[in-house]
Amino acid sequence: MSVLDFGEFTDRAAELAAIPLYPVASYMPSAPEQDGFCFLYANRAPFVLGGIDPPEQNGGEYYRLDAAKKAEYSAANASLADCTAGGTIRFTTDAEEIFVRVRLRSAVLGMHHFCDRGVYGIDVYAGTGNKRKYLGEMMQHFAESPRENEGRLSLPAGVNEVMIELPLYSGITSVEIGFPKGCRIGEPTKRDILPVAFYGSSITQGGCVSRPGNAYGNIICRALNADCRNFGFSGSALGETAVAAYIAGCALSCFVMDYDYNSPSCEHLSATHEPFFQTIRTRQPKLPVVFVTHPFYDDPTEDDLARIAVVRQTYENALRNGDQNVFFVDSRNFFTPEFRDLYAVDYLHPNDLGQMSMAQVIFPAVQAAVFKKK
């Protein structure tokens, strides 16, 4: 298996240098000064929220679906949409240090196969384009409590774009970022492409990585310098029409359809897979769609092979209908057969290595889809 090829790094140093920066004191504070830090809410300018609709446009909530239509979703989907998987907050600053405070809600607790950092922690990166450095030295402070976490982080010298990746299996009430008095802040650089969306199971949502940045969708989107719209719903991605309708209304550069793991039977998958795709295709006739089958940690069973055939049938039907914006990824290529036990925590949910290996195989298809290299 080859190492994930990000292609040429797209450092945006020149663009970053041209971004106007303003004194932090010129923005409305979210709280009184603390230890010399001025705090701002991260859902306001100059911060840019990615992967999730802004709360002020979605019922005041950090919510992955339409908050006004919760009654149309299954109870599980409506609840799990609180989780901020795929969400990011980006900004530019000349601060040498920042203070991040995250207030959480609805953390999915009691999962003995999933560490707290992966459930309700955050990750912080500095850099632009797809050239970003993980600032991991103090990240343990952001998984001490399922209610509120805070900590101070040192930044590289000079002007930096900072990206915070939000919790995978927890909702957030607010994020505040503190800056030393006298420093300056501004908007981040532009993304290269529209967001990439992923629909699927707990695996798609990020189970069971050690931290948010290691979910395969986040890995792929960092490589593409794109926002990640993560529509992974743990145990409840059943091909629901209401979810398909919401995704179909999103502005996207590519859609990865990866939900067959949660279908209770091959018959259910057969009844829902193509209709789900057609809901997307009717609304967005030219949107590239990548079909993915679920991971295997042993030789596939007859049911596994039947599910692969269902997913491939949707793909082949689209090709026969003249659709040139569809792609297929066979999950039997995800893991090296001799070491399959190393890729998962429970022979179901990929660990960091497993999610990275999935990204290795899915990334070329997404890249080809986005840049029309088929």
Confidence of residue 110 (pLDDT cuts 50, 70, 90): confident
Query: CA separation (Å) from 99 to 105, 134, 164?
Result: 20, 16, 12
In a domain? residue 191: no
Q: Where are the alpha helices (DSSP H) in the chain?
A: 13-17, 75-80, 116-120, 202-205, 216-224, 241-248, 266-283, 302-320, 352-370
Q: Is residue 7 part of a domain?
A: no
Same domain, 267 and 176: no
Closest CA to 105 of 128, 77, 126, 82: 82
Residues 221 and 358 in one domain: yes
Residue 301 belongs to domain spanning: 196-370
Q: Helix or strand or coil: residue 168?
A: coil
Which pLDDT value is given to residue 145? 83
Domain termination residue (choose one: 168, 186, 204): 186
In a domain, 30, yes or no: yes
Instruction: Examine the fold and report which residue of 157, 186, 215 is the final residue of a domain before the chain moves on.
Output: 186
Q: Are residues 335 and 358 in the same domain?
A: yes
Q: CB–CB of 105/83 below 8 Å?
A: no
pLDDT of amino acid 341: 86
> Which two tokens mark 185?
């802040």
Q: Is the per-residue pLDDT at 366 higher than 90?
A: yes
Question: CATH no. for residue 182?
Answer: 2.60.120.260
Please tell me the least confidently modeled range out of 100-114, 263-277, 303-317, 330-344: 100-114
CB 241 within 8 A of CB 72: no
Is residue 147 situated within a structural domain? Answer: yes
Could you report the per-residue pLDDT of 235-283, keeping only the tens digit for each?
999 999 999 999 999 999 999 999 988 999 999 999 999 999 999 999 9
Q: Looking at the structure, do residues 182 and 200 belong to the same domain, yes or no?
A: no
Q: Give the pLDDT confidence of 264-273 residue by residue, as tens digits.
A: 999 999 999 9
Q: Which residues contact 83 (CB under 8 A, 6 or more apart)?
A: 64, 106, 108, 167, 168, 169, 170, 171, 205
Q: Is residue 255 part of a domain?
A: yes
CB within 8 A of 69, min separation 6: which ones?
A: 242, 246
Number of domains in the chain: 2
Asked whether residue 364 is assigned to any structural domain, the reply reads: yes
Q: For position 249, which CATH number holds?
A: 3.40.50.1110
Residues 101 and 202 in one domain: no
pLDDT higher at 340 or 40: 40
Q: Are residues 177 and 242 in the same domain?
A: no
Closest CA to 229 of 262, 253, 210, 213: 253
